[in-house]
Structure 1
Amino acid sequence: MTDQGKNSERWYHKGPVLMRGRQVPKSTTDQRLLDDKGHADWLHTDPWRVLRIQAEFVEGFGALAELGPAVSIFGSARTPTDSPRYADGVELGRLVAEAGYAVITGGGPGAMEAANRGAREAGGTSVGLGIELPFEAGLNPYCDLGINFRYFFARKTMFVKYSEGFLVLPGGFGTLDEVFEAVTLAQTGKVTGFPIVLIGTEYWAGLLNWLRDSVLEGGMISADDIDRLYVTDDLVDAVEHVKRESARVRPETPKQPE
């Protein structure tokens, strides 16, 4: 620690970090390390969180690196198991698996569980990328490979990095968040040839009308941005659209299971 400046303001170097004035700590790192009367608050500081964030990326990359072609399926965690939408999720998971893709979901209940179930029952690879939330606990029982994340941004990276497209069943804020993030990445050129399919024309009609009548008319987006969202009621058509777009960008498409 040294004195510098007219007012002898205190400066403190902590590795590459320079601190001054009120930022100067009242104790040294060694003192805090050796003081057995200290608390475990250091576990919750931002520098320590960086290591946790790094660990989540390492674990995610390591677990999914050899997954092969995959498609992410999104939808509401609140979808009842006895509803037609749950049945659609099961069928969609089956169709994706039979097309040669692994199925990735958020690993939760409802539509996510349905898609994982369909993929697993069809003999495909069923993946769940969970997130710690106060109102949802654990991964659904149909995940063959599951990862739980603390941080949304690490989890979102895995969805985009390891998916060749998104299939989106009716859902709420979490589902909308994934849709608009994917559209933004495509719009800004961060990802290319990334199909996004909204399943359920009636459910998504209000959103699309608003995008056309308010957002597009207001000059906030272009018509091409809306065209990135492919809407259908046909589950087979939804999967075929992903296959077509994948083939357009990548010469080799997944082979049918033998």
Structure 2
Amino acid sequence: MSGNSEGLRALEEQRLGPVLRRRGQVQPGTTDQRLLDTEGDSQWVHTDPWRVMRIQSEFVEGFGALAELPSAISVFGSARTKPGTPEYETGVELGRALAEAGFAVITGGGPGAMEAANKGAREAKGVSVGLGIELPFEQGINAHVDIGVNFRYFFVRKTMFVKYAQGFVVLPGGLGTLDELFEALTLVQTRKVTRFPIVLFGSSYWSGLVDWLRDSVVAGGKASEHDLTLFHVTDSVEEAVALVTKETGHQA
């Protein structure tokens, strides 16, 4: 499929949770955007109770779909990671190694690093899970996902990542990846979750962030020295799997 035809399809197709809209039925914006946008008339006051019901239904659907997962690790990383690159192949290797260790692999369900980890898990005959999100330009659930759930609201999706995983492995990624990383760090720091290993994969990518946390955040008194022990940095797939296995007490 050419780049132009892919772009045309992205404009003509929209997934709103379980609902698919195409062509003239595509709606502007996303559900999150409509919830957070306070401009316009006050009609939204009368629709918020219905939004609560929709939010509740997303939790119910997510809990129902994921309740019987085996021990799982959430893998995060950039949707822009290209197939065939060393980063992509590392994601495949990581997903495969986690599945061989007996973990289900949970990703955001999209392309790039997420697809790579799902691919590795599927090839190892593990449980490959994708938790998608409604976006203005829908990426869709990648073909290597065996259990897929699409969410309208980021906060519901983020709950599922933490609730049904015993740890995170974070590949190089952008703002969404950083969002998930700092959410997890905050939950561990405040002891909302316990025994939750967080592994940053790729020392050359993450070293600048780690230096900033140490030299600016901790040095400036905005966090404690102990907070730097809430995560590990590695360049080894074997070490990443060993870390999450040891800290979760998981046995294959």
- Asked whether the two chains share a fold, i.e. TM above 0.5, the reply is yes
TM-score (normalised: structure 1): 0.79
Asked whether the 8 Å contact 1:94–1:119 carries over to 2, the reply is yes
State the secondary structure of the residue aligned to 2:233.
strand
Supply the distance in 2 between the matched residues of 1:98 and 1:136 (Cα, whole angstroms): 31
Q: Which one of 180, 183, 200 corresponds to residue 182 of structure 2? A: 180
AA partner of residue 66 (structure 1): E
Distance (whole Å) between structure 1 residues aligned to residue 165 and residue 231 of structure 2 = 16
Q: Deviations over 1:6-60 (max 9, x none)?
A: xxxxxxxxxxxxxxxxxxxxxxxxxxxxxxxxxxx88x82111000000000000
Structure 2 residue 94 is the aligned partner of structure 1 residue 84: no
Match of 1:200 among 199, 202, 209: 202
Of the two structures, which has the highest relative contact order with CA contacts closer than 8 Å and spacing of 6 or more?
2
Q: Give the residue type in structure 1 aligned to 2:234.
A: T
AA aligned opposite 1:110: G
Q: Which position in structure 1 is the counterpart of 2:162?
A: 160
- Number of aligned positions between the proteins: 210
Please give the residue correspondences for 1:1-258 in structure 2 after superposition, counting only pairs within 5 Å: 45-247=47-249, 253-255=250-252
Q: What residue ranges of structure 1 are gaps of 5+ in the alignment?
A: 1-40, 248-252
Specify the SS of the correspondent of 1:124.
coil
| Whole-Å separation in 2 of the counterparts to 1:156 and 1:123 | 26
Alignment RMSD, CA only? 1.4
Query: Given that residues 95 and 239 in structure 1 are in contact (C-alpha distance below 8 angstroms), is that contact kept between their aligned partners in structure 2?
Result: yes
Q: Percent identity?
A: 68
Residues 69, 254 of structure 1: 8 Å contact kept: no
CA shift, 1:194, in A, is 0.6
Give the structure with the larger helix fraction.
2
Query: Is the 8 Å Cα contact of residues 111 and 139 (structure 2) preserved in structure 1?
Result: no
Q: 2: distance between equivalents of 1:192 and 1:234?
A: 24
TM-score normalized with structure 2 length: 0.81
Would the aligned equivalents of 1:101 and 1:254 in 2 still touch at CA under 8 Å?
A: no
Provide, for residues 89-112 of structure 1, a one-character-per-residue CA deviation record: whole Å limited to 9, x for no partner. Answer: 000000000000000000000000
Q: 2 CA distance for matches of 1:80 and 1:137? A: 14
Report the alpha carbon displacement of residue 135 of structure 1 after superposing the two structures with TM. 2.6
Report the Cα distance in structure 2 between the residues aligned to 1:80 and 1:72, rounded to whole angstroms. Answer: 20
Note the C-alpha offset of 1:136. Answer: 3.4
Unaligned 5+ segments in structure 2 are 1-42
